[in-house]
Each structure stands twice: as C-alpha cells, then as structure tokens.
Structure 1
Amino acid sequence: MSSIKIRKYQEEDAEVVKEIFTMGMSEHVPSSFMHVLKQPLFQMALMVMVCTLLMSSKSFLLPILAATLVLAATRQLVTYMFNSYIDACLKKDLSNIGETYLKQKDSCFWVAESDGRLVGTVACLPNENAPECLELKRLSVSHSHRGMGIAKALCRTVAEFTQERGYLAVMLFTSVVQTDAQKLYERLGFVKIREFVAPEPFAKVMNFTLLEYRLDLQRD
C-alpha cells in the first residue's frame, strides 16, 4: 500500500488542488442529472408535454424529438450549475488558499500525498452562524486513490485541529447526490442535523437538497 502523508498546504500545491477540486465536483453531474429525472414534477411535466404533442401532431416522432431535446437541455443546465459553482469557488477561497485558510485565525488547509503525489485536500475555518464550530470544507480525494482511508484521515485531521483549538464541534455541508460522502461522515460519527433546498433558482426547480452534518467533540 502506498504511504500517505498529510501536511499543510504550500503555494506550489495551488494548481493541483484546483484540479482535484474541479474533477471531484464534476463527477457529481451524472448523479445530479439522474436526481432531476427522478423528481415527480419533472416526470409529470415531461409526460404532459409528450401526451400533448402526441395528441396534437398524431405522430410519434415529434414527441420523441421534443423529449430528447428537453433531456439534453436539462443535462446542460445541470452541467452549467456545477460549472458555475466550480468557477465561483476558484475565484473565491481557492484563488488564494494561503490568504483564506493559512493566515486567518483557527483556519487551515491540508493536502494528502501518496508517494510524493498530491491526491487529496481538506480545509476548515470558523463557521459564521455557529461560533462554537469549525466548518470542514474542500474535502476531495483523487478517484485513483479512493478506498485507501485518505478521506477518513483528512476528516480526522480537521477534528483534531478543531479540538486542539477549543471548539465544540465540526460541521459541514454536503448534497443529496453525494451518497458516498454521507456514508463516510456517518461512519465517523457525524450526525445529520438539517436538510434544505439550495437557494439557486434551478436548484429549487430540481429539488437539489443540501445536508448539514455535525460532529460533537469530547472536551478534555
């Protein structure tokens, strides 16, 4: 098994960190598209459109073409939503990781190395709405190195950092389509405390739910 080393972020890691983040987020496009297709409102609207066109045109071809176009457009919208989120993150905290996470109080950014290759990331900073918590962010592991306990080790690094600084808990947000992440957090003792639909207009239409998790830490 490859040796895994977790260390603090360095400026020369910037491009690889951005690449790992971008690839990790892009992987959720197919599952998010399937999530949309399973929504009753979407299915009903698609069925009404197909039936209406079938009755009015007396042809199977037009409804099939229309349904195909709707599905293609929906896939493009899902892709656009994720690309917009990725771009926003790359322009915000990931544009200057050192300034955002290393120079601020009670914040940090770590990377995981396997045989000298950067394969994972995680960060934390104080949560604005829960002053007793640090928020875990930017957890991502390269697809080729999953199943090796790297994500678990990164989460524990954040938990230890949080406890050392006297905070009561670690919190994080994930999405309904990130089922593997949900299982990981729950195995580590995180408890889901809230579900809510993302505020973006298209996210509301597709019922894209965000989940908030919290891990309470033992006090010394």
Structure 2
Amino acid sequence: MASIQIRKYRDEDAETVREIFTDGMSEHVPSSFMHVLKQPLTQMVLMCLFCALMASSKSFLLPILAATLFLAGTRQFVVYMFNRYIDTSLRSDLNKISEVYMQQKDSCFWVAEIDGRVVGCVACLPAVSTPGCLELKRMSVRRSHRGMGIAKALCKTVTDFTRDRGFPAVILYTSMVQTDAQKLYEHMGYTKIREFVIPELTAKILNFTLLEYRLDLQGDGKKD
C-alpha cells in the first residue's frame, strides 16, 4: 500500500485543492436530487401538474412531457444550488487559503499526498458558533483514493492539532446527504449533537438539513 503523507498546505497546492473540493461537493448532486423528489411539496406540485394537464389535454403525452421537464428543471436547480455553494466557498476561503488558514492563530490547512500527488485536504480554525473550540472544515478526498485511510488520517491530524493547543473539542458540520462522511465522523468518535435546517427559504422548503458533530478531547480548555 502506498504511503500517505499529511503535510501543511503550500501555495502551489491551491488549484488541486479547489479541484478536490469542487469534485467532492458535486458528487452529492444525485443524492440531493433524490432528497428533493421525496419532499411532499415536490410530489404535490408534480401530481397537480400531471393531473391538470391530463384533464385539460385528454392525452398522456403532454402530462408526461411536462413531468419530464419539471424533473429536469428540478435537477438543474439542485445543480445550481451546489454550484452557488461551491462558488461561495471559493470566494470566502478557498481562493485565499494561506491568508485564512496559514496566517491566523489556531488555524491550519493540510493536504494528503500519495506518491507526490495531492489526493485529499482538511482544515480547521476557531469555531464561530462555539467559542473555545476548533472547527474541522473542507474535508475531501479524491474518489479514486477513498478506502485507504486518508480521511481518517486527516481527521486525526485535526484532532492532534486541537489537543496540542489545549482546546476542549472539535466541531464540524455536514449535510444529511453526506452519509459516508457521517459514518466516518462517528467512527472517529464524533457525536451528533443537533440537526437544523439551513436558514434560507429554499432550504426550508426543501427541508435540507445540516448536522453538527462534536468530538470532546481530554484537557480543561485552551492554553495561554
């Protein structure tokens, strides 16, 4: 098995990191689309559209065509929402990783390398929502290199970084469609402490839920 090296981010990693993050987030479009289709509002709109056109046209062709277009439009909407999140993430920190993570206190960004190729990444920084804790962010591993223990190694790196600095816990957020991530975090000792809907109208309508996880560490708080 190839040796996994976890090292701190360098500026020449920037493009690869953005690619890994973008590809990783885009993988969740199909599961998110299925989640949207299961929502009562989506099913109600689809049913009303089909029945209305069926009653007015007296034909199966138009309702079927309309339903197909509705589903295609719904999927494109999901793609749009993910692309918007990716663009926001790039603007907020992934286009300026050194500034946000490498030059700030109690923050860091790491990459995982195999045979000199960057195949994963993770970051942490002080948690805004939970003062006194660090937050794990931007965890992603190339699909081609999953199942090799890379994500576990990245998680452990954040845990060790947090413990070495005397913080009592690591927190993180993931979505309900990222089931593999949930399993990983629970395996690494994280506990799910709450679920909540993203406070945007669209997310509320579609019941798109985020999960907050916490890993409590030994120690009595942050060192001076």
TMscore range, shorter length? over 0.9
Q: Provide runs of 4+ in structure 1 moved above 3 Å.
A: none
Shift of 1:160: 0.6
| Structure 1 CA distance for aligned equivalents of residues 73 and 119 of structure 2 | 34
Moved more, 32-41 or 12-21: 32-41
| Structure 2 CA distance for aligned equivalents of residues 114 and 47 of structure 1 | 50
- Map 1:7-156 → 2, pairs under 5 A: 7-156=7-156
Alignment deviations for residues 75-106 of structure 1 (CA, whole Å, 9 cap, x no partner): 01000000011111111101110010011010
- Structure 2 counterpart of 1:35, one-letter code: H
Alignment of 1:189 with 2:189, yes or no, is yes
| Structure 1 CA distance for aligned equivalents of residues 153 and 192 of structure 2 | 20
Shift of 1:201: 2.7
| Structure 2 CA distance for aligned equivalents of residues 206 and 218 of structure 1 | 39
How many residues were matched structurally?
Answer: 220
**TM-score of the superposition, structure 2-length normalised?**
0.96
RMSD (CA atoms) = 1.0
Moved more, 195-204 or 9-18: 195-204
Shift of 1:151: 0.3
| Identical residues among aligned pairs (%) | 72
Equivalent residue number for residue 160 of structure 2? 160
| Structure 1 CA distance for aligned equivalents of residues 40 and 2 of structure 2 | 46
| Structure 2 CA distance for aligned equivalents of residues 105 and 6 of structure 1 | 20
SS at match of 2:131: coil
Alignment deviations for residues 5-24 of structure 1 (CA, whole Å, 9 cap, x no partner): 00000011001001001100
| Structure 2 CA distance for aligned equivalents of residues 125 and 69 of structure 1 | 43
Moved more, 136-145 or 42-51: 42-51
Equivalent residue number for residue 206 of structure 1? 206
- Structure 1: tracts of 5 or more residues without a match: none
Shift of 1:205: 2.0
SS at match of 1:189: coil
Alignment deviations for residues 27-78 of structure 1 (CA, whole Å, 9 cap, x no partner): 1111110111111221122112211211122111111111111101100100
| Structure 2 CA distance for aligned equivalents of residues 71 and 129 of structure 1 | 37
- Structure 2: tracts of 5 or more residues without a match: none
